Amino acid sequence: MKIGIRNGSMGFPEMAELFEQAAQIGFDGVELDIRPAWEDEPVMSAQGRAEIKRLSEETGVEVPSLCIGALWTYSPAATDPDTLEMSRRIIREGIAAAADLGSKWILIPVTPSDEEITHEECQRRWISEMRDAAVEAEAAGIVLCLENVGRGCGKSAEDLLALVGGIDSAAVRTYYDPGNACAFGHDAVEEIRALAEYIGVVHIKDREADLLGQGIVDIPGCVDTLREVGYNGWLVLETPATDDPLEAGNFNLAYLRDVVD
């Protein structure tokens, strides 16, 4: 398994510093977030991507995945037509950016609607939107990975399986986060078994502690179960940057490498 880290977990440094620090610590890759002011993100411009590719080649630090965090502002479950069209545009341009970078995976947080709707209606809207996005993703060789996040309609393995099954595309899988599962009161080990081959990428963080192994998430059990179901992909740290991102990154990488090895 390869181990990466989100740029937010490094404190959102400038790209040159991000790649330099990730290489210094020993990470295999970095996951880049596309925040609400998405047009200003380096990853969303040709010039910015050229610089990212140069930094990746020079440092040996890959960019396996992008995260479209902007979907917390522009949800595919929204009813407002302008919001909905913006979510479509961001996903479409995110797919193009990932393809240009050679990043296979895109994290898609299953965010809530802009109005009170039922769980079933939220899932129906997500399935409808992701079916269209999946066509573009498949053509570009990109996999959209739905993450189990709070406040939406994808908090459990059961929810994620319903969404992926309803979309029914090889270009849509899940982005599983055991730390989130623990926060929601779910058994992450059992959910990993349930999701199995539908897991595209995995986030790693603890709960009730900033550093891995000091909280309540059974990280060794989750890694063992990932192996059990045949997963050999990326583990991406979504850990707090803390007051010292370098020290935290070094500690967390050492802990996780010890678990993986």
Report the C-alpha gap between 145 and 127 in whole angstroms: 13
Q: What does the DSSP 8-state code read for residue 45?
A: S
| Predicted local distance difference test score (pLDDT) of residue 181 | 98
Query: What's the CATH number where 241 sits?
Result: 3.20.20.150
For each of the chain's 261 residues, which pLDDT tens digit applies?
999 999 999 999 999 999 999 999 999 999 999 999 999 999 999 999 999 999 999 999 999 999 999 999 999 999 999 999 999 999 999 999 999 999 999 999 999 999 999 999 999 999 999 999 999 999 999 999 999 999 999 999 999 999 999 999 999 999 999 999 999 999 999 999 999 999 999 999 999 999 999 999 999 999 999 999 999 999 999 999 999 999 999 999 999 999 999
Supply 106's token pair: 């895109």
Contact 3, 235 (CB under 8 A): yes
Q: Is 77 helix (H, G, I), strand (E, B) or coil?
A: coil
Q: Give the pLDDT score at 203.
A: 98
Q: Provide CB contacts within 8 A for 54, sequence distance 6+.
A: none
Structural domains counted in the chain:
1
Confidence at residue 64, expressed as pLDDT on a 0 to 100 scale? 98
The parent domain of residue 200 ranges over 2-260
Q: What is the pLDDT of residue 18?
A: 98
Residue 67's H or E segment, with its range, is strand 62-67
Report the pLDDT value the prediction gives residue 138, as an integer from 0 to 100. Answer: 98
Q: Which of 111, 66, 63 is nearest to 86 (CA)?
A: 111
Q: Are 159 and 188 in contact (CB under 8 A)?
A: no
Secondary-structure percent of the chain, ordered helix, strand, coil, rounded to 5: 50, 15, 30
